Structure 1
Amino acid sequence: MDDRTGLTLPEELLLLCTVPQTGLLKRPQNFNRVLAGAVLAELLLGGAITVDGKRITGVRPLTTPGDPVADRVVADLARAGKRARALGLERWVRKVSSRVDRPYLEALQARGLLLAGRRRALGIFPYTVWQVVQPGWFKDATARLDRAVGQQGDDRDLALAALAGAIRLDRRLYSGRGHRDTRRRIQRLTRESPIADAVRKVVSSDESAAGSG
């Protein structure tokens, strides 16, 4: 967890989905894949896992437990042992993706940063929308990306930017021809990060499967 904001990478990625004009979260398709990657990146930054190439090479107990998703993932990784196939990053992005968003949405709601509302699709089918209560947090998260692109960011800033690129949030946050270099820099960060690149590949595979269906 980041001492400067008190937010985890999954929480910051959710806030990056804010539509400034409405304050509502608009998550890209397959967004849970990048949240799963953010959980793994948080573990890497905290020293709970080590990564080499396309696989996780080491697992250690969390020094500051408390995130129920991260706690569960570390326990699952420890049970997986040291089999190379069992510790592939793409495999764990898929595994962690299941229902990963709700705990972080509720954590943001508990902190007073998000407000849940109910709407109905076609006037019949209920669904939940999430409204950002304090827009300044969105600005803080985008400032991290700016630092990463400007080569002034720390490891956490770089991880956030790389993950944003993995789900193509950079296209929304830096739209237009004037930001082409920024988008290229973020995509380069994505490919240089083993975890973010694993997310990118899983998302690409999902999209290919959906297109062929």
Structure 2
Amino acid sequence: MTIEPRSDTPTLVEDLLLLLFQPASGTIAGENTLFYVLGGAVLADLALGGHLSTTDRGRVSSVADHPPTDDLLRSAWNYLAEKPRGVQTALAAIGPPLRGPVLERLIARGDIDQEPRRVLGLFRTTALRDGRTERRARLLADVRRVLVDGAEPQARVAALAALLSASGTLPQFHREIPWTSPVISRAKEFEQGDWGADAAGAAVTRTVTATVVNNAVAAITVLPRG
């Protein structure tokens, strides 16, 4: 089922997939772990919006009577409203269907363009290329500031940096984000939930979001990269 784009602020999962898109090759980095990474972004977005809570043993559940307005996030919220779930279970259920609908949103927004091509001069296909909005460049600059320049992150940028690092794709961003020892250490801090005091407004929201991302990271990093 196609999920229509919204006119308001893009979701965190849209931002993450846009960052993982590689304009030079027209491919998505980290395809082997993509559904876990995108699922982690949805859970983090729910946590940042106050729609998610954690229970004993790191399980997550929806906050009753507080659904998100975005249809894509609402689907995940409905699933978690049934009963508390382990983060890995939630990722396995939420993540796999996300790539197509999220990519459709990015194309509809103009962040990514589709270009018709022919293979061997016979078969029609489409290729992906950088869009007209320059939003990917702005997102990448935000992540660079916190990883390279040591800037204090906003919560969304901290979550993006953590999930990007967990995906194993950061070395592919070497031109924009040098793959150096300080950057690696800083990225690992984000993976572990060390975002700084200003990364989220309320302490409860910060704790829930860090728990979600930390568990998602743990699930992602044990997957094979091949």
Coarse TM-score class (shorter-chain normalised): 0.7 to 0.9
- What secondary structure does 2:113 align onto? strand
Q: Could you tell me how far apart the structure 2 residues matched to 1:202 and 1:102 are?
A: 22
Are 2:170 and 1:170 equivalent residues in the alignment?
yes
C-alpha distance after superposition, 1:30-67 (max 9, x if no partner): 2121001001111001110023663215523445513x
User: What is the Cα-based RMSD across aligned positions, in Å?
Assistant: 3.0
TM-superposed CA distance for 1:122, in Å, is 8.3
CA contact 2:165–2:188 (8 Å) conserved in 1: yes
Alignment of 1:90-105 (within 5 A): 90-105=88-103
Q: Secondary structure at the match of 2:143?
A: helix
Normalized per residue, the structure richer in helix is 1
1:203 Cα deviation from its structure 2 partner: 2.9
TM-score calculated relative to the size of structure 1: 0.77
Runs of 5+ unmatched residues, structure 1: none
- What residue is the counterpart of 1:191 in the other structure? 192
Q: Work out whether residues 170 and 179 of structure 2, in 8 Å CA contact, stay in contact via their aligned partners in 1.
A: no
Q: Deviations over 1:115-166 (max 9, x none)?
A: 2345678889986542221362122111221343324211111111111111
Task: Give the alignment of 1:28-43 within 5 angstroms.
Answer: 28=30, 29-43=32-46
CA distance in 1, matches of 2:214, 2:174: 20
Q: Please give the residue correspondences for 1:119-134 in structure 2 after superposition, counting only pairs within 5 Å.
A: 129-134=127-132
Return the match for 2:10 from 7, 11, 19.
Answer: 7
Q: What is the aligned partner in structure 1 of residue 181 from structure 2?
A: 180
What amino acid is aligned across from residue 69 of structure 2 in structure 1? P
State the identity as a percent.
25
